[in-house]
């Protein structure tokens, strides 16, 4: 259904009420369900977008550190468009979107779904001219659409080349139990953030009661500052599919899905071609490599712009054609996943690592990294450094080493693991990259001495307020309030009480929210208050003076309740 909706959005520039009814009929679903899916995703619109539909990435890297916000204003000025609106003649709409995974080559934008990177004033002016002349995108400079993957450091995983056939032959040769045993012994833990043991996850799924099992690859890569899966999906897709097939072999699944984020829609064609090639070579489909008992194929599903769909249960909801609202857990997907059946959900890097481990044995892997974090981790590095890009490190590497390698100097602070991750000050740069020290799904953002950390906190807060799915109150309201409090401080209207409120709010969101998004959305605030208190306190008013008459503010409440006694007034004492 998501693909049908994408097609309508592309052809009609919006999804009308009639289209929603038609899709509901085609898929035999309630109209309300289709309407809810449309409303849930930020890449679907019920009002027409421009024929050139532009979305500037507003993530910390592209929007603030690289100056994307100024370029957005420049383009709006050039084309006489109000941000967030479609120009009256329907030619163009310009808006912002969360991170599009191009942080190493920002500022960046999407135009009709295609990324353009390395923006600057000159390029933006040219872009405006091409749009004004209604030049079709295929006639734009072709190199504008080139996406580079700069890998600065390769280790165990990235120095290998794709060998899907050998991987599958090895697994078929040693059998299901031994394949699983290798994985269990390797100590491989999920690379998507939470770090659950991969072999154990496959084992739990295999042992769970159910008629059908599924393999799902989480290629939603929405954590701002992360772009390593973009490179893996481009360069290592064959090994990804081999990793998924291995999982299917172990757990006994016949169907797999790759849930690809909408921002990577441009990769769909090449991924389809790789899938076809795998089928031609007998690596997917019926009787894989002649094995009578092994059928497995993969379907690619493109999301529609919702960070929460990276959360595994929300992802499964979305796969099932529903809005991506996280489920109550337990039960976990390994027992009750897609269509209520046992399902393995793993990150792109995890599947590729599993394929490499099975192919090359787990000896090298196990002896790389630390005891609790075996192997290597691929990082996406951006921000204030000379060499942004992709780096693969053995777990256990010191943060200081990473900063030296990427040419980061006089670092004021860094954020590892995205806005939901960990904020580090220079005194902590001796810490190590590891699940039990500083862990990361892949993002590492560097902030030089010239950066205003409060602006960064506001950027993070805006991200969470925008991406909260709205299902539970602590997160839906709390993330908005956190954003508001930070704005208050930045605008010079904060008092010591604002900090107290901010702290209380942050704890409430952290403790009372329904899913991982809410649990982590306020981490950066709490860490910022603890590690960089001056960022906040230096902006406070020394003496609090109310900006409005508190008693007067209650006048309407008194009017409604027909009260005007002294207890209905605030005391002036």
Ligand X SMILES: Cc1cc2nc3c(=O)[nH]c(=O)nc-3n(C[C@H](O)[C@H](O)[C@H](O)COP(=O)(O)O)c2cc1C
Question: Could you give the 3-state DSSP secondary structure of residue 170?
Answer: helix
Using rule CB under 6 A, residue 356 touches ligand X: no
Q: How far apart are CA 280 and CA 449, in angstroms?
A: 54
Among 103, 423, 475, 489, binds ligand SF4 (CB under 6 A): 475
Please work out, in degrees rounded to the nearest 5, the angle formed at the alpha carbon of residue 52 by the alpha carbons of 51 and 58: 135
Based on DSSP, count helices (H) and strands (E) in the chain, helices before strands: 22, 14
Q: How would you list the strands of the sheet with 52-57, edge to edge?
A: 92-97, 52-57, 109-111, 114-116
Using rule CB under 6 A, residue 311 touches ligand X: yes
Eight-class DSSP state of 527: H
Count, residues near ligand X per rule CB under 6 A: 22
Give the nearer residue to ligand X in terms of CB position, either 255 or 488.
255
Q: How far apart are CA 506 and CA 526, in angstroms?
A: 7
Contacts of residue 500, defined as CB under 8 A and 6 or more positions apart, other chains included, come to none
Range in contact with ligand SF4 (rule: CB under 6 A) among 244-252, 263-271, 295-303, 507-515? 507-515
Give the nearer residue to ligand SF4 in terms of CB position, either 308 or 354.
308
Among 267, 278, 302, 308, binds ligand SF4 (CB under 6 A): 308
Q: Which residue is nearest to ligand SF4 (CB)?
A: 518
Provide, rounded to whole angstroms, the least separation between the CB of residue 263 and ligand SF4. 19
Q: How far apart are CA 129 and CA 125, in angstroms?
A: 6
Give the nearer residue to ligand X in terms of CB position, either 222 or 396.
222
Using rule CB under 6 A, residue 528 touches ligand X: no
Provide, rounded to whole angstroms, the least separation between the CB of residue 337 and ligand SF4. 18
Closest CA to 63 of 419, 469, 428, 392: 419
Using rule CB under 6 A, residue 347 touches ligand X: yes
Provide, rounded to whole angstroms, the least separation between the CB of residue 478 and ligand SF4. 9
Please work out, in degrees rounded to the nearest 5, the angle formed at the alpha carbon of residue 178 by the alpha carbons of 255 and 364: 105
218 touches, from ligand SF4, ligand X, none (C-beta below 5 to 8 Å by class): ligand X
Q: How far apart are CA 356 and CA 359, in angstroms?
A: 5
Using rule CB under 6 A, residue 346 touches ligand X: yes
Q: How far apart are CA 533 and CA 453, in angstroms?
A: 11
312 touches, from ligand X, ligand SF4, none (C-beta below 5 to 8 Å by class): ligand X
Contact 468, 520 (CB under 8 A): no
Please work out, in degrees rounded to the nearest 5, the angle formed at the alpha carbon of residue 276 by the alpha carbons of 275 and 282: 90
Using rule CB under 6 A, residue 518 touches ligand SF4: yes
Using rule CB under 6 A, residue 513 touches ligand SF4: yes
Count, residues near ligand SF4 per rule CB under 6 A: 14
Using rule CB under 6 A, residue 52 touches ligand SF4: no
> Could you tell me if residue 13 is left (phi over 0), alpha (psi between -120 and 50 degrees) or otherwise beta?
left
Q: How far apart are CA 143 and CA 141, in angstroms?
A: 6
Ranges within 187-226 binding ligand X (CB under 6 A): 190-194, 196, 218, 220-223
Give the nearer residue to ligand SF4 in terms of CB position, either 516 or 528.
516
Using rule CB under 6 A, residue 469 touches ligand SF4: yes
222 touches, from ligand SF4, ligand X, none (C-beta below 5 to 8 Å by class): ligand X
472 touches, from ligand SF4, ligand X, none (C-beta below 5 to 8 Å by class): ligand SF4
- Which spans of this chain sit near ligand X (rule: CB under 6 A)? 190-194, 196, 218, 220-223, 308, 310-312, 345-347, 350, 515-517
- Which spans of this chain sit near ligand SF4 (rule: CB under 6 A)? 308, 326, 468-472, 475-476, 513-515, 517-518
């Amino acid at each position: 259904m998501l693909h049908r909706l994408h097609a309508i959005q592309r052809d009609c520039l919006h999804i009308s009420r009639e289209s929603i009814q038609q899709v509901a009929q085609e898929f035999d679903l309630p109209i309300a369900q289709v309407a809810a899916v449309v409303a849930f995703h930020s890449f679907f619109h019920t009002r027409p977008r421009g024929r050139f539909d532009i979305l500037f990435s507003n993530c910390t890297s592209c929007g603030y550190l690289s100056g994307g916000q100024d370029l957005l204003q420049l383009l709006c000025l050039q084309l006489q468009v109000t941000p967030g609106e479609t120009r009256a003649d329907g030619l163009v709409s310009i808006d912002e979107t969360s991170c599009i995974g191009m942080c190493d080559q920002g500022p960046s934008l999407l135009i009709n779904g295609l990324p353009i990177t390395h923006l600057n004033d000159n390029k933006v002016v040219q872009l405006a001219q091409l749009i004004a002349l209604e030049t079709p995108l295929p006639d734009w400079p072709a190199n504008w659409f080139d996406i580079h993957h700069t890998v600065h450091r390769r280790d165990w995983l990235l120095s290998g080349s794709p060998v899907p056939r050998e991987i599958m032959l090895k697994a078929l040769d040693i059998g299901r139990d031994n394949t699983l045993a290798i994985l269990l012994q390797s100590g491989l833990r999920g690379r998507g953030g939470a770090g659950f043991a991969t072999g154990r996850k496959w084992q739990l799924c295999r042992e769970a009661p159910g008629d059908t099992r599924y393999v799902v690859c989480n290629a939603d890569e929405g954590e701002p500052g992360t772009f390593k899966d973009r490179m893996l999906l481009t360069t290592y897709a064959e090994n990804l599919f081999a990793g998924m097939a291995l999982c299917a072999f172990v757990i006994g699944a016949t169907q797999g899905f790759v849930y690809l984020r909408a921002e990577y829609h441009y990769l769909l064609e090449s991924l389809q071609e790789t899938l076809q090639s795998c089928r031609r070579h007998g690596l997917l489909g019926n009787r894989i490599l002649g094995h009578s008992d092994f059928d497995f194929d993969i379907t690619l599903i493109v999301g529609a712009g919702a960070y929460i769909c990276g959360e595994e249960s929300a992802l499964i909801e979305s796969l099932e054609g529903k809005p991506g609202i996280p489920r109550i857990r337990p039960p976990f997907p390994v027992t009750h996943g897609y269509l209520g059946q046992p399902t393995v959900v793993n990150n792109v890097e995890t599947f590729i690592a599993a394929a490499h481990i099975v192919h090359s044995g787990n000896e090298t892997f196990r002896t790389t990294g630390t005891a609790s974090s075996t192997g290597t981790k691929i990082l996406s590095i951006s921000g204030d450094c000379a060499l942004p890009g992709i780096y693969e490190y053995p777990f256990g590497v010191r943060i200081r080493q990473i900063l030296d390698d990427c040419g980061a100097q006089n670092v004021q602070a860094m954020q590892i693991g995205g806005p939901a991750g960990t904020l580090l000050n220079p005194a902590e740069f001796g810490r190590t990259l590891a699940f039990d020290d500083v862990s990361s799904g892949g993002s590492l953002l560097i902030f030089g001495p010239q950066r205003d950390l409060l602006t960064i906190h506001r950027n993070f807060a805006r991200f969470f307020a925008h991406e909260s799915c709205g299902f539970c109150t602590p997160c839906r309201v709390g993330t908005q309030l956190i954003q508001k409090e930070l704005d208050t401080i930045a605008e010079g209207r904060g008092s010591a009480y604002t900090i107290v409120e901010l702290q209380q709010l942050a704890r409430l969101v952290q403790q009372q929210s329904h899913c991982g998004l809410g649990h982590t959305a306020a981490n950066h605030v709490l860490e910022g208050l603890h590690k960089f208190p001056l960022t906040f306190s230096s902006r406070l008013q020394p003496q609090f003076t109310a900006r409005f008459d508190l008693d007067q503010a209650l006048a309407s409440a008194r009017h409604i309740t027909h009260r005007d006694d002294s207890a209905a007034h605030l005391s002036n004492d």
